[in-house]
């Protein structure tokens, strides 16, 4: 098929409502949310079923056109943005948005890839169950995108990443065949675990169309604490202590340095200075319990009181509005940072004991390289994951600062590599970081990635140029 015959063929097979070519309607699909990546495309295809996804892939293959899968387009690395050439198509999963089944006894739910994460959480809650994946974009991101990026969020400490929440997947392969791997099995050692190839592959190996997700007993009790601390070392001591004192109840453990807290206080709605005294570091933590009777605020108060000076000050909240008030500080940080000018982002992880060394070395290195730069570390420290964001020095030209993105990435990622960490902890690689894959992953790892890509997508039709660095 000639490339120009593709759009009419798609419209004929899937119906005209499934194909967008109008410039104004294309616009929201073309720009990545942070505004870092803008692309062009031939069309956006919106199939409404797995069979229509498969048909679309077969037609694109026949026309020699490559496909960019897209969910909620909330990704941070440009994985869902097409290239600048205008020849690719975006395949949006937004019309595959049915919850196919909920099984409260088996604690599973089958969702199509285009379901919004918040709708999956709601469907689980209606069956008195919990789907624990949760974070700020849950009203926009879609479950297929969550699996394709192996999303993390607030509850990884207790429930794991997206990968840990999946029992089976349904995938359309690069040749248009459908792999029905929708098995609700907790035990299946009957060969390679193929689903794990597609989870975290950012749409480079196949298009996820549905998944069997794991559900959990719904928490009946919640408590939140905000703690003021002297430093990252005592943060880790607090984490160990609370894990010992609260058993498996600890579900979120977030760190914030004083500077991002100040940004939130300055620019965030509903943010108030939490303690009389300012502390260099803060931890925000959640404990939850599904037991009928539990006294989580009492448990937290007792543990923090016994923390022998580790917690320099703390507040415990049990009521939903009080807990939300404490979380307002953490949730306001990403938005507040925008009011402070341009920022260069790092989404890193290191083994937990290396967190203090990473923060000390990375802060010293960036301040030495650019006096006046303002590091704003915060993030899921319970998972070893820090968003080591840098705000520009006040008064510096924003474009000049952003022009040094790669230079600062290299500086910070080299320290991460020396500490045996990852330069892409939860947001993935997309088109932002393939060069770092080439620079920092071992030749053996890179070869394995290329071989898998070549085996599953020999024509390089699925999200070319993303994740896997070019090679022989
Ligand atoms: P998209 O952005 O549409 O796509 C992401 C990647 O997945 C692309 O490479 C795309 O090609 C591929 N893809 C999408 N759907 C499919 C599919 N069905 N099959 C195959 N490939 C597919 N992420 C976290 O991990 N933790 C956080 O705490 C977090 N916080 C965030 C907060 C905000 C305010 C925002 C805007 C984003 C945040 N993110 C976070 C990043 C983002 O929400 C996640 O990466 C999310 O999983 C992306 O889902 P999506 O549906 O928007 O996917």
Residue 392, ligand 1, Cβ within 6 A? no
pLDDT (tens digit, 0 to 9) for every residue of the chain, 472 residues total?
888 999 999 999 999 999 999 999 999 999 887 788 889 999 999 999 999 999 999 999 999 999 999 999 999 999 999 999 999 999 999 999 999 999 999 999 999 999 999 999 999 999 999 999 999 899 999 999 999 999 999 999 999 999 999 999 999 999 999 999 999 999 999 999 999 999 999 999 999 999 999 999 999 999 999 999 999 999 999 999 999 999 889 999 999 999 999 999 999 988 999 999 999 999 999 999 999 888 999 999 999 998 888 999 999 999 999 999 999 999 999 999 999 999 999 999 999 999 999 999 999 999 999 999 999 999 999 999 999 999 999 999 999 999 999 999 999 999 999 999 999 999 999 999 999 999 999 999 999 999 999 999 999 999 999 999 887 6
CA of 70 to the centre of ligand 1 (A): 9
Residue 74, ligand 1, Cβ within 6 A? yes
Ligand 1 atom having least distance to the Cα of 142: 51
Residue 461, ligand 1, Cβ within 6 A? no
Indicate which residue's Cα is closest to atom 9 of ligand 1. Answer: 79
- Which of 89, 141, 389 has most ligand 1 atoms within 8 Å of its beta carbon, as the pocket-test mutant? 141
CA distance linking residue 13 with residue 45, whole number of Å: 11
Residue 171, ligand 1, Cβ within 6 A? no
Ligand 1 atom having least distance to the Cα of 114: 18
Residue 427, ligand 1, Cβ within 6 A? yes
Q: Label each residue of the chain as H, E or C.
A: CCHHHHHHHHHHHHCHHHEECCHHHHHHHHECCCCCCECCCCEEECCCCHHHHHHHHHHHHHHCCCEEEECCCCCCCCCCCCCCCCCCEEEECCCCCCEEEEECCCCEEEEECCCEHHHHHHHHHHCCEECCCCCCCCCCCEHHHHHHCCCCCCCHHHHCCHHHHEEEEEEECCCCCEEEECCCCCCCCCCCCCHHHHCCCCCCCCEEEEEEEECEECCCEEEEEEEEECCHHHHHHHHHHHHHHHCCCEEEEEEEEHHHHHHHHHHCCCCCCCCCCCCCEEEEEEEEECCCCCCHHHHHHHHHHCCCCCCCEEEEECCHHHHHHHHHHHHHHHHHHHCCCCEECCEEECCHHHHHHHHHHHHHHHHHHCCCCEEEEEECHHHCEEEEEEECCCCCCHHHHHCCHHHHHHHHHHHHHHCCCECECCCCCCCCCHHHHHHHCCHHHHHHHHHHHHHHCCCCCECCCCCCCCCC
- Which of 46, 68, 69 has most ligand 1 atoms within 8 Å of its beta carbon, as the pocket-test mutant? 69
Count CA within 13 A, CB hemisphere, residue 209: 25
Ligand 1 atom having least distance to the Cα of 208: 19
* Model pLDDT for residues 197-238, shown as the tens digit of each residue: 999 999 999 999 999 999 999 999 999 999 999 999 999 999
CA of 74 to the centre of ligand 1 (A): 5
Residue 75, ligand 1, Cβ within 6 A? yes
Residue 412, ligand 1, Cβ within 6 A? no
Residue 78, ligand 1, Cβ within 6 A? no
Residue 50, ligand 1, Cβ within 6 A? no
- Which of 41, 45, 46, 80 has most ligand 1 atoms within 8 Å of its beta carbon, as the pocket-test mutant? 80
CA of 466 to the centre of ligand 1 (A): 14
Indicate which residue's Cα is closest to atom 49 of ligand 1. Answer: 145
* Model pLDDT for residues 19-55, shown as the tens digit of each residue: 999 999 999 999 887 788 889 999 999 999 999 999 9
């Amino acid at each position: 098929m000639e490339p120009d015959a593709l759009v009419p063929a798609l419209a004929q097979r899937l119906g005209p409502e499934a194909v967008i070519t109008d410039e104004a309607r294309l616009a929201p699909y073309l720009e990545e949310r942070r505004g870092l990546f803008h692309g062009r495309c031939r069309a956006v295809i919106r199939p409404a079923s797995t069979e229509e996804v498969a048909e679309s892939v077969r037609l694109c293959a026949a026309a020699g056109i490559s496909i960019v899968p897209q969910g909620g387009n909330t990704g941070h690395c440009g994985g869902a943005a097409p290239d600048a050439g205008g020849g690719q198509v975006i395949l949006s999963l937004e019309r595959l948005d049915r919850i196919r089944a909920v099984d409260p006894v088996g604690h599973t739910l089958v969702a199509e890839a285009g379901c919004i994460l918040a709708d999956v959480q709601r469907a689980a809650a209606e069956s008195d169950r919990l789907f624990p994946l949760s974070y700020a974009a849950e009203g926009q991101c879609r479950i297929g995108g969550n699996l394709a990026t192996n999303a993390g969020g607030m509850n990884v400490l207790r429930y794991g990443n997206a990968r840990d929440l999946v029992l089976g997947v349904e995938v359309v392969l690069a040749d248009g065949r459908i792999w029905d791997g929708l098995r609700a099995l907790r035990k299946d050692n009957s060969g390679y675990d193929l689903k794990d190839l597609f989870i975290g592959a950012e749409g480079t190996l196949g298009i996820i169309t549905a998944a069997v997700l794991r559900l959990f007993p719904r928490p009946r009790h919640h408590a939140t604490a905000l703690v003021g601390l002297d430093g990252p070392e005592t943060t880790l001591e607090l984490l160990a202590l609370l894990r010992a004192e609260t058993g498996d109840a600890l579900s979120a453990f977030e760190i914030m340095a004083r500077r991002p807290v100040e940004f939130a206080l300055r620019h965030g709605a509903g943010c108030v200075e939490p303690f009389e005294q300012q502390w260099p570091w803060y931890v925000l933590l959640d404990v939850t319990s599904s037991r009928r009777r539990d006294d989580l605020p009492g448990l937290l108060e007792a543990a923090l009181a016994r923390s022998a000076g580790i917690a320099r000050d703390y507040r415990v909240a049990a009521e939903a509005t009080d807990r939300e008030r404490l979380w307002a500080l953490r949730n306001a940080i990403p938005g507040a940072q925008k009011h402070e000018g341009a920022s260069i982002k790092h989404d890193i992880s290191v083994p937990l004991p290396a967190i203090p060394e990473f923060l000390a070395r990375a802060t010293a290195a960036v301040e030495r390289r650019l006096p006046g730069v303002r590091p704003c570390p915060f993030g899921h420290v319970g998972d070893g994951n820090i968003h080591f964001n840098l705000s520009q020095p006040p008064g510096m030209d924003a474009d000049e600062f952003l022009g040094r993105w790669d230079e600062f990435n290299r500086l910070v990622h080299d320290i991460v590599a020396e500490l045996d960490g990852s330069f892409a902890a939860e947001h993935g690689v997309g088109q932002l970081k393939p060069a770092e894959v080439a620079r920092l992953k071992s030749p053996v790892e890179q070869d394995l990635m290329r071989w898998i890509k070549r085996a599953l997508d020999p024509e390089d039709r699925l999200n070319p140029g993303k994740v896997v660095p070019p090679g022989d």
